[in-house]
Amino acid sequence: MEAYPSELLLIAFVAMLAPLLAELPSGVRLPVVVLEVFLGLLIGPHVTNLASPTGMIGTLGELGLAFLLFMVGLEIDFDKIRGRPLSLAIGGWFFSFSLAMICMFIFNSIGLIETPIILAATALSTTALGILAPILRDRDELNTAFGTYLVATAAVGEFAPLVIISLLLIPTHDTFLHNLFIVTFIIFALAVANIALQMRSSPLIERLAHTMQSSGQLPVRICILLQVLLVTIAATFGLNIVLGAFTAGMVVGLTIKGNEGELLRHKLDAIGYGFLIPIFFIVAGMRFEVSALWSAPLAPLQVILLSCLLVLIRAVPLFLYKKELTPEEKVPFAFYSATGLPLILIISEIGVDSGIMPPDRASLLVSAGMVSVLLFPILAAKLRGKFVLPW
Domain presence at residue 231: yes
Domain presence at residue 114: yes
For residue 1, what pLDDT band results from cuts at 50, 70 and 90?
Answer: very low
pLDDT in tens, 310-367: 999 998 899 888 888 888 888 899 999 998 887 888 888 778 877 778 887 888 888 8
Q: Are 154 and 341 in contact (CB under 8 A)?
A: no
pLDDT at residue number 10: 92
Query: Does 386 score more than 70 pLDDT?
Result: no
pLDDT at residue number 337: 92
Residue 219: closest CA among 254, 259, 252, 258: 252
Domain presence at residue 138: yes
Query: Does 391 score more than 50 pLDDT?
Result: no
User: Which is more confident, 118 or 297?
Assistant: 118
* Number of domains within the chain: 1
pLDDT in tens, 165-179: 766 655 555 566 666
- CA dihedral 273→67→340→12, nearest 10 degrees, is 40
Domain presence at residue 390: no
pLDDT at residue number 167: 66
pLDDT in tens, 222-243: 889 988 988 888 877 766 777 7
The reported pTM is 0.79
Domain presence at residue 157: yes
CATH number, position 44: 1.20.1530.20
pLDDT in tens, 124-137: 999 888 778 777 77
pLDDT at residue number 254: 78
CA distance 211 to 62: 29
Domain presence at residue 148: yes
Domain extent, residue 260, equals 3-383
Domain presence at residue 181: yes
CA distance 3 to 19: 26
Residue 254: closest CA among 206, 187, 188, 196: 196
pLDDT at residue number 102: 93
CB neighbour list of residue 359: distance below 8 Å, 6 or more residues apart? 289, 292, 352
Query: Does 249 score more than 70 pLDDT?
Result: yes
Domain presence at residue 389: no
